[in-house]
Structures are given as structure tokens and as C-alpha cells.
Amino acid sequence: MQIAIVLYKNFTTLDAVGPYEILASLPGAETVFVAEQTGPVLNDRGQVSIVATKSFAEVPRPDIVVVPGGPGEADQLENKALLDWLRAVDATTTWTTSVCTGSLALAAAGLLKGRRAASHWLALETLAGLGVEATGERVVFDGKYVTAAGVSSGIDMGLTLAGKIAGDRVAQAIQLMTEYDPQPPYDAGSPDKAPADLVEQMRTRSRS
């Protein structure tokens, strides 16, 4: 079972690493970090690179694809090399997945037409504009397409998918070993729960 975690310039680090840490624990998993070209790929803050060990050309038939998001929507929507590769490999994947605005790439590749899908809460309008039934849910399964909401939701996506693939017991073992017993000090992790003026402030900032 080959799991391809996609990297592209300006990706958000936790989007990729959250599901990686969970899914790479699956029995029989071979996990590869893949990008247009091998080598270091710089993240959205320009501060850290993760090394892609395979190029798109070297990974023609992954079983699972994970597309992380990033703050610049053009990086997903206009990334021809990424979109072409996604279309090609999706023909044979078992699961095609995304975190955060990674779903914009899946949608731009034409893979989510008429399907339900999640994204970062600030990207739901853009996602809907691509002919997708965009929803604010945290993890959305629609056929073999699994999409998650913003950044940290990739951990929940990974764990849910791990359970579907390998059963509850294996997924629980992964949860236990990664000690995923979240205890956030605030309850502001979604636009429904955060203070309304903070939500508005972030929405305004994202438009500027």
C-alpha cells in the first residue's frame, strides 16, 4: 500500500505531517513524499522545507494520495503539474484525500464535481464555486474522496481513514501511540465556536 503525501511550494506543514504521522503507522504502508521534482520543498512561511524523495513521474500508481493545503489559493488552483498528476493517479487510487485547501486542487482537477467536500472554513466559498457541495464538516467521506477542514483536521482525517483501512483496533493503537487525546486550552477552533468578532477579523484579514 503506497501512500503519497504531496508537496508543493507554499504548502502548510501540519497539513502534510498530521495525516503522514497517522497513516505511515498503518501495517504494510510505504509512505513517500512526492513533488513535481525531488528535493526540498519550501513551506508557506518560507521557513522550513520537507524533502520530496520522489517526483510525480516516479509515483504513477499510489494507493492513497494526500494533498495538503496552503494559504495561497493559486498554488492549488493553477498548479498544472499537480493537477495533471492528480487526474492521472486518481484513475487507480483507492483513496484520494486532502487537508485544508488541498480540496481546491482536487476540485480544480475535476475530481470533486457534484461531490460533498470539506476545506478550510475561509475557502468554502471558493470550493463551492468549483461545483462542489462544500461543507463546514471536519472530515467528509464521499466515495473514495476524503477531504478535511483546515490544517489540524488532517489528523482526524488520517485516523478515521486508518480505521476504515485497517479496522478500529489498529486505528486505536495509532491514536494511543501518538497520544492523540486533545485538550485544547480554548474552544475557538471553528467559526461556529470562536468569538464572532474574531471570526470577522480573520475573514476581513483573509480578503486583504
Rounded Cα gap, residues 196 and 208, in angstroms? 19
Which residues contact residue 118 at a Cβ distance below 8 angstroms, ignoring those fewer than 6 apart?
103, 134, 135, 136, 137, 138, 139, 140, 147, 148, 149, 153
Active-site residue, 84 included: no
Residue number with CB closer to its own copies (87 or 138): 138
Question: Exactly one of 65, 100, 134, 139 is catalytic; which is it?
Answer: 100
Least Å from the CB of residue 100 to its own copies: 8
- Least Å distance, CB 122 to its own copies, is 8
- Cβ–Cβ < 8 Å for 127, 103: yes
Closest CB 130 distance from its own copies, rounded Å: 20
**Site for its own copies, rule CB under 8 A:** 12-14, 17-18, 20-21, 24, 31-33, 40, 45, 47-51, 53, 100, 120-121, 138-139, 149-153, 155-156, 159-160, 163, 168-169, 171-173, 175-191, 193-195, 198-199, 201-202
| Contact between 62 and 4 (Cβ < 8 Å) | yes
Measured from the CB atom, is 90 or 180 closer to its own copies? 180
13-23 and 153-166 are packed helices; what angle lies between their axes, rounded to 10 degrees?
Answer: 20
